[in-house]
A = this chain, B = another copy of it.
Amino acid sequence: MARKIQLTLLGCGGVGRQLLRHIVSTRKLHEDQGLRVAVMAVVDSKSIVLGEKNEELDDTALLQISLAKEKNNQMPAGLNARAVRKEYFDATLAAAIRTITEETGRPLVVADCTASEKIGQALAEIADLNCCIVLANKKPLTSSFNVYDRIAALNRRYRCESTVKQEVGAALPVIATLNRLLNSGDSIRKIVGALSGTLGFVMSRLEYGESFSDIVRQAKELGYTEPDPRDDLGGMDVARKALIMARLMGWRINLEDVEVECLYPPSLAPKLMSTMQFLKGLPELDLPMRNRVKEAAARGCVLRYVATIENFHCKVGIVEQPQQSALGQLHGSDNLVEIFTRCYSTSPLVIKGAGAGNDTTAAGVLADVLDLQDYFG
């Protein structure tokens, strides 16, 4: 008799779609371990797709959903499933989850693979239902403490490994490592991390003498940036990752408390111009950036965009790093986290990883889901 993990997937973008495929492709592996990941519902912003008669969605349905969402961002028609069309990333979501738990008489893992801010309230209500929650979405953990505390109260019944590493290296066990250290009584003194593959690419290219504007354009063409590169260059994504780690350490701080260096001036802000106009205006940043690189090089250093978490202060921005240091040696879109503790005081514990994209992030979400298996008899 297999141990069944009932899962509801929220969000069916790149990560969610890939998660459905991973679930299907690891089916045999998990069966051999006496495990079954049963997807009870897939939810996007417009609809919820449920199995018939509270059964799980079969593998054909999961692949159909994944394909249809990829093709035209629509849930497929004609599924052997109930599809309810409605605005779903709000309070009605919690009601739907409650119905599933009541009708099946079993707890659920709810995996948030959206990028939604407003889903936080629904997740807080879902947490109160004593479901397990797995987050790839950083926003519920980085907005108000009203939402954060209710999710965090789940303690070991929520996981969020993929929030810190959403773009790059989702299987990197940063959160799990921090939890291990905290639980074993080791005190964390400082965390320094290069947490953005996009900004890692940009900063390490600067060393080769290329201009800032050229590198950003290249990164956009290669699909390394968001459609609007300012979403990466603004640093808020890194700030959210830093905040998640700081809150994990028990700090009661908010996103506004994180000191963030934005890599473009207010005169190029999204409210003033389009992405195209921004890219045209970008060369004005080349000279100042080139000077910063030169000044750092004269001191044997390179520039890195880094989060520093220390003494109840979170800071995110460009710092000079010695060329020979671990961060200085970092190249391309590799991510790296250094953790200084009582036990790791002189030489930090280092976790480094490369690899980008939804495949790795979805694998990280699945690992988090499986890590909850002990709650499912």
> CB within 8 Å of B: which of A170-219?
171-173, 176-177, 180-181, 183-186
- List the 3 shortest-distance A-B pairs measured between CB atoms, nearest first: A347-B354, A26-B185, A184-B363
Please, which residues of chain B bring their CB within 8 A of the CB of A343?
Answer: 171, 355, 359-360, 363
Which A residues are within 8 Å of any B CB, using their own CB?
22, 25-26, 29, 33, 155-156, 169, 171-173, 176-177, 180-181, 183-186, 326, 329, 332, 334, 343-355, 359-360, 363-364, 366-367, 370-371, 373-375
A-B contact pairs, 24 of them (CB 8 A): A25-B185, A26-B184, A33-B155, A173-B173, A173-B180, A176-B180, A181-B363, A181-B367, A183-B366, A183-B370, A184-B363, A184-B366, A184-B367, A184-B370, A326-B352, A334-B347, A343-B355, A343-B359, A346-B354, A348-B354, A349-B354, A350-B350, A351-B351, A352-B352
Please, which residues of chain B bring their CB within 8 A of the CB of A171?
Answer: 177, 180-181, 184, 186, 343-344, 349
B354 near A344: Cβ-Cβ < 8 Å: yes
Please, which residues of chain B bring their CB within 8 A of the CB of A360?
Answer: 343
A349 near B353: Cβ-Cβ < 8 Å: yes
Partner of A366, one of B185, B355, B363, B364: B185
A25 to B350, CA, bound (A): 26
Please, which residues of chain B bring their CB within 8 A of the CB of A26?
Answer: 184-185
B351 near A350: Cβ-Cβ < 8 Å: yes
A355 to B326, CA, bound (A): 17
Q: Measured between C-beta atoms, what is the minimum distance from A326 to chain B in Å?
A: 8
A169 and chain B: residue at smallest CB distance: B349
Please, which residues of chain B bring their CB within 8 A of the CB of A184?
Answer: 22, 26, 171, 363-364, 366-367, 370
A185 to B331, CA, bound (A): 27
Please, which residues of chain B bring their CB within 8 A of the CB of A25?
Answer: 185
Please, which residues of chain B bring their CB within 8 A of the CB of A348?
Answer: 353-354
Partner of A186, one of B349, B363, B375: B363
A155 and chain B: residue at smallest CB distance: B33
A51 to B349, CA, bound (A): 38
Please, which residues of chain B bring their CB within 8 A of the CB of A186?
Answer: 171, 363
A360 to B184, CA, bound (A): 9
Partner of A172, one of B326, B332, B349, B352: B349
A360 to B341, CA, bound (A): 11
Please, which residues of chain B bring their CB within 8 A of the CB of A181?
Answer: 171, 363, 367
A155 to B371, CA, bound (A): 12
A335 to B359, CA, bound (A): 29
List 6 extra interface pairs beyond A26-B185, A169-B344, A173-B177, CB under 8 A.
A156-B374, A181-B367, A183-B367, A343-B360, A344-B355, A349-B352
B332 near A329: Cβ-Cβ < 8 Å: no
